[in-house]
Each structure stands twice: as C-alpha cells, then as structure tokens.
Amino acid sequence: MRRYALNRPMALEEAQSTPDGAGGQAIAWATLGTHWTEVRAGSGRELRSEIAPQSQMTFRIFLRAAPQGSPQRPRPGQRFRDGTRVFVIIAVSEADPLGAFLICHAREEVPA
C-alpha cells in the first residue's frame, strides 16, 4: 500500500445558509473538523475573462478515509481551508484498493 505524507492539517468546512434579515440568505462556512492531508498540485489551465486571462490550478488532496455517510467524509461542495488558502472540493474517491485513504480533487479559490 502506498504511504502518504499526511503532514498538513486542513480544516474541512461546509456552507450553511442563514437568513440575512432582508428576506434573503447569507452563506457562512462552518468548520466540521481538521484532517491531516497531503496536497499535490494537479493540472493547470488558462481561462479567458473580460479583463485579463486568469489561471486555474487543480490539486489532489489525500487523507485518511471515513465511512460513507460520516460527517467527517469530505463531499463535493465542501472545502478545505489551510490558513488563508481555500480549496473547493470537486470530487472525492478512494485513493487505494483497500479504501484506507481518500483523494479529493479540488481547485484553489482566490478570495477577491
């Protein structure tokens, strides 16, 4: 079985909507827990925008597996936070045949 260098703590966050007092909803991110991870750079590409080209980078985030349905198991739409860096989870799958580790495909979100 492959060994992963799980040496980077990252907080798993989930969006929660709350009333904003004006009839709409505000999104707040709640921390679900901390996972020890290994982060590897994936592919990158350039996107065209109205003002200037933008780059987009994907990452593969490895962590210990949690059972299906567990609140500790990452899901698409959630995100990992490492200080000021935010990684939005796109997909999650098992990283090894035994299912002992997960791989989260994510893209880094740069706050405006």
The whole-number pLDDT of residue 62 equals 97
Q: Which amino acid appears at position 34 of this protein?
A: T
d(C-alpha 29, C-alpha 78), whole Å: 9
* Residue-wise pLDDT tens digits, 37-94: 999 998 777 767 677 666 778 999 999 999 888 889 999 999 999 999 999 999 999 9
In this predicted structure, the answer to whether residue 10 has a pLDDT above a threshold of 60 is yes
**Domains of the chain, each with CATH number or no CATH:** 8-109 (2.40.10.270)
The partner residues of 109 in beta bridges, in order of sequence, read 86
The reported pTM is 0.83
Q: How far is CA 57 from CA 67, 77, 82, in A?
A: 28, 17, 16
Give the model's confidence band at 1: pLDDT under 50 very low, under 70 low, under 90 confident, else very high. Answer: low
